[in-house]
């Protein structure tokens, strides 16, 4: 029999989009770990009108087929916000790829990455990083350790062959991202210095931790969160600042997972100097919903969440640079441990954290954490 070659084409039609979105549901159907996202949410996420990302970025999605069978998918994109931050004289040669899914086939993986490189080259790019869906603040990286653990909210899950096939296709490691597990109900694992710093934050520097009200969430995200993120994260690898449109979109997303116990702000003399946004892991519900809103999906999401979620993901914890010496971060840590004594959520994961972020990684060690997942971001020059 003659082997059928791989045909990679740009996503254009409604049928193409359906095949693009549906592929991972088939690829991972037998996995006990993969969590199906809600299909409706995925369609809206790719919408050029609904997703604020497209206010400052361009993207093209691709589907790979062998004959009539869909065997892979990928996106290629570039972001003007990234260009403005990392370019020289307004010129940047870096693009990104994302939404990478494929059957265990070296030819498919290579064809997909080649399609992304080719599109980006046509957009004036010669360097590609990824995967990221579409940004570093969405699902990003390829899982290389932690295959036996369920992914938490906004974490990808991949079978082990992804790493091998991507590297065979010519991509090289750019950086690794860590997820740290913390048993936030077990104070015995925490080094005493954390409690000492938290006490100093209050007694010496007058810092208080308060919990954010839902009605204030949008104002705080568009105000303090944006300011803290755009200053405290600025030196991080791959950093892209949030625009006003991005922050509005993010605030709308957070309304769906808001929990007053876990959304916190640090204040000093009436000024908000830091924020911590920890999200109950709704993936525990999404796994039951199986990607469907109807007939019972929303009921599961809205009415079973308090009883059936026992873990959280600490996704954002930051303090304005001029206040990072005050122990405010330690005060956030201790408040998290306090919340674990009064809520159903007793443990969680912190991250992702860059492998190069020594301060945060040391902090996780001080709280008795351990690295349980590693995600790898790749790069390719052409």
pLDDT digits (tens, 9 = 90+) for 246-280: 999 999 999 988 999 999 999 999 898 999 999 99
Answer positive or negative: Cα dihedral of 140, 281, 202, 217.
positive
Domains of the chain: 6-176 (3.40.630.30), 184-345 (3.40.630.30)
Task: Give residue for tokens 């009436």.
Answer: 270
Structure confidence at residue 369 as a pLDDT band (50, 70, 90): very high
CA angle 339, 288, 369 (to 5 degrees): 35
Say what the pLDDT of residue 4 is: 75
Of 270 and 61, more confident:
61
pLDDT at 240 over 90: yes
Structure confidence at residue 196 as a pLDDT band (50, 70, 90): very high
Say what the pLDDT of residue 294 is: 53
Say what the pLDDT of residue 304 is: 58
**Percentage of the chain surpassing pLDDT 70?**
95
Residues linked to residue 316 through DSSP beta bridges, in sequence order: 277
Mean pLDDT of 346-372: 93
CA separation for the pair 141, 24 (Å, rounded): 16
pLDDT digits (tens, 9 = 90+) for 120-174: 999 999 999 999 999 999 999 999 999 999 999 999 999 999 999 999 999 999 9
């Amino acid at each position: 029999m003659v082997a059928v070659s791989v045909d990679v084409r740009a996503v254009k039609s409604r049928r193409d989009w359906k095949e693009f979105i549906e592929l991972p549901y088939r690829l991972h159907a037998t996995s006990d770990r993969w969590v199906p996202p809600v299909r409706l949410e995925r369609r809206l996420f790719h919408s050029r009108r609904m997703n604020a990302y497209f206010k400052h970025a361009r993207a093209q999605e691709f589907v790979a087929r062998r004959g009539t069978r869909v065997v892979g998918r990928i996106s290629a994109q570039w972001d003007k916000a990234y260009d403005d931050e990392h370019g020289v004289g307004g010129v940047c040669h870096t693009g990104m790829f994302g939404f990478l899914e494929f059957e265990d086939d070296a030819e498919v993986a290579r064809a997909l990455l080649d399609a992304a490189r080719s599109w980006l080259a046509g957009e004036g790019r010669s360097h590609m990083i990824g995967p990221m869906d579409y940004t570093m603040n969405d699902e990003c990286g390829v899982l290389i350790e932690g295959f036996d653990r369920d992914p938490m909210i906004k974490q990808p899950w991949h079978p082990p062959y992804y790493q091998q096939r991507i590297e065979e296709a010519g991509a090289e490691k750019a950086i690794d991202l860590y997820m740290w597990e913390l048993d936030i109900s077990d104070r015995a694992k925490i080094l005493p210095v954390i409690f000492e710093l938290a006490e100093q934050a209050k007694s010496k520097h007058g810092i208080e931790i308060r919990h954010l009200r839902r009605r204030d969430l949008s104002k705080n995200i568009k105000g303090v969160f944006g300011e803290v993120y755009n200053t405290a994260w600025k030196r991080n690898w791959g950093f892209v600042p949030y625009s006003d449109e991005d922050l509005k979109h993010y605030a709308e997303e957070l309304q769906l997972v808001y929990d007053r116990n876990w959304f916190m702000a640090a204040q000093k003399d009436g000024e908000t100097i830091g924020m911590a946004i920890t999200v109950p892991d709704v993936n525990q519900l999404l796994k039951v919903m199986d990607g469907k809103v109807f007939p019972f999906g929303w009921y599961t999401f809205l009415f079973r969440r308090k009883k059936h979620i026992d873990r959280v993901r600490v996704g954002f914890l930051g303090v304005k640079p001029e206040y990072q010496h005050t122990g405010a971060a330690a005060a956030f840590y201790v408040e998290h441990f306090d919340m674990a004594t009064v809520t159903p959520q007793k443990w969680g994961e912190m991250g992702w954290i860059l492998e190069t972020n020594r301060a945060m990684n040391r902090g996780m060690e001080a709280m008795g954490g351990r690295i349980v997942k590693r995600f790898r971001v790749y790069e390719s020059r052409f």
